[in-house]
Amino acid sequence: MTPERRLHVVSGKGGTGKTTVAAALALALADEGRRTLLVEVEGRQGIAQLFETEALPYEERRIAIGPGGGEVYALAIDAERALLDYLQMFYKLGGAGRALRRIGAIDFATTIAPGLRDVLLTGKACEAVRRRRPDGGFVYDAVVMDAPPTGRIARFLGVNHEIAGLARMGPVHHQAQAVMRVLRSAETAVHLVTLLEEMPVQETADGVAELRAAELPVGAVIVNLVRPPVPAPAGAPAAADRAALADALRRAGLPNAERLVEPLLAEGAARAERTRLEAARRAELAALGLPLRELPLLAEGADLAGLYRQARRLREHPW
């Protein structure tokens, strides 16, 4: 599988499993001979937990081999350290920058300056996208960002546009413009993770509208935790059907089989109704006009083996 884009931003409403999907996508993109960088920007160390490794430092570290034999590196971006990098890159502060951190000035700046933290986080990720080897090739074939939730993703990615407008010249202006060129280019895609439930679907639709209004490239909608469909019953079970179910339960060795019939029928009806509602949510997502990718609910949970299974499913699609 050859990635069509080089920066994949993964967002989603809280609880939809966006970090798991981002990690699975990074694995999927690590095809034979390829190198993928998985970037975390929220400071939760969710990537380290998924890959069952120690907390990630502020450095790019190889954490896995993809199903296709490529390498996956990970980076937990720290805004304070990113600001020090920025000051050194553009203003050559060196030891003065470290002194600012010791007295708390760096933490102060990243806490109170509107948008500065987001500028640093997006800038660091875009730097990884643009970075080249001495031979001219890209260091990473793809960068996957585990981004903030859908409710603030357009603001998070668009903050550099605002900064470029405020700072009319100088390094800040040029850096913000360079970041926006990457974020709005054809090599970037913002993927939204959702569930087949009313609130996540609505937030996904709102997020797509905001991203499009901000002229940011929307990629795919990834529907996570999909359950197998249950056919709707043709009607209320007849007495003979209830008796046959009770008899089957008795032959299976279950005590009080007759008392289990009604709860089982009620559970089946509830699951069939859920399937109907999920079909309606799927239709709402299809109306957005974006590619839909589905990942099944893993009965054993999102452990490392499950992560690789999801990655293999994602490898079946173009990205």
Q: Please determine, for residue 187, whether its predicted confidence score (pLDDT) is greater than 70.
A: yes
Assign 260 a pLDDT band (cuts: 50, 70, 90).
Answer: confident
Tokens of 204: 């996904």
In the chain, the largest separation of any two C-alpha atoms, in whole Å, equals 84
Assign 197 a pLDDT band (cuts: 50, 70, 90).
Answer: very high
Assign 170 a pLDDT band (cuts: 50, 70, 90).
Answer: low
Contact call for residues 19 and 46 (beta carbons, < 8 A): yes
Closest CA to 146 of 21, 309, 274: 21
Contact call for residues 182 and 7 (beta carbons, < 8 A): yes
**What is the average pLDDT value for the chain, to the nearest integer?**
86
Give me the percent of the chain exceeding a pLDDT of 90.
57
Q: Please determine, for residue 243, whether its predicted confidence score (pLDDT) is greater than 90.
A: no
Give the residue with greater pLDDT, 113 vs 177.
177
Q: Please determine, for residue 279, whether its predicted confidence score (pLDDT) is greater than 80.
A: yes
Q: Please determine, for residue 15, whether its predicted confidence score (pLDDT) is greater than 80.
A: yes
Helix (H) or strand (E) holding 7: strand 7-12
Q: Please determine, for residue 233, whether its predicted confidence score (pLDDT) is greater than 80.
A: no
* The pLDDT of residue 107: 57
What is the rounded distance in angstroms from the CA atom of residue 71 to the CA atom of residue 98?
33
Q: How buried is residue 296: exposed, middle or buried, by Cβ count under 10 Å (0-12/13-18/19+)? A: middle
What is the rounded distance in angstroms from the CA atom of residue 29 to the CA atom of residue 36?
7
Scored b (16 or more CB within 10 A) or e, 57-92 reads eeebeebbebbbebbbbbbbbbbbbbbbbbbeeeee
As a whole number, mean pLDDT of residues 269-288 equals: 91
The whole-model pTM stands at 0.84
- How open is the CA angle 148-150-155, to the nearest 5 degrees? 70
Contact call for residues 16 and 193 (beta carbons, < 8 A): yes
Q: Please determine, for residue 196, whether its predicted confidence score (pLDDT) is greater than 70.
A: yes
Contact call for residues 190 and 211 (beta carbons, < 8 A): yes
Within the chain, how many helices (H) and strands (E) appear?
12, 8
* The pLDDT of residue 186: 94
* CA-CA-CA-CA torsion sign (65, 28, 303, 121): positive
* The pLDDT of residue 261: 82
Contact call for residues 12 and 197 (beta carbons, < 8 A): no
* The pLDDT of residue 316: 94
Q: Please determine, for residue 50, whether its predicted confidence score (pLDDT) is greater than 90.
A: yes
Q: What is the DSSP-derived secondary structure letter of residue 294?
A: E
Tokens of 240: 């003979």
Ranges 66-75, 157-166, 261-270, most confident: 66-75
* The pLDDT of residue 113: 56
* The pLDDT of residue 1: 46
Closest CA to 143 of 114, 182, 173, 116: 182
What is the rounded distance in angstroms from the CA atom of residue 138 to the CA atom of residue 34?
10
Please name the residue ranges forming H helices in 51-115. 79-91, 95-102, 105-112
Q: Lowest mean pLDDT of 82-86, 162-166, 249-253, name the range.
A: 162-166
Q: pLDDT tens digit string along 57-68? A: 889 999 999 998
Q: Please determine, for residue 98, whether its predicted confidence score (pLDDT) is greater than 60.
A: no
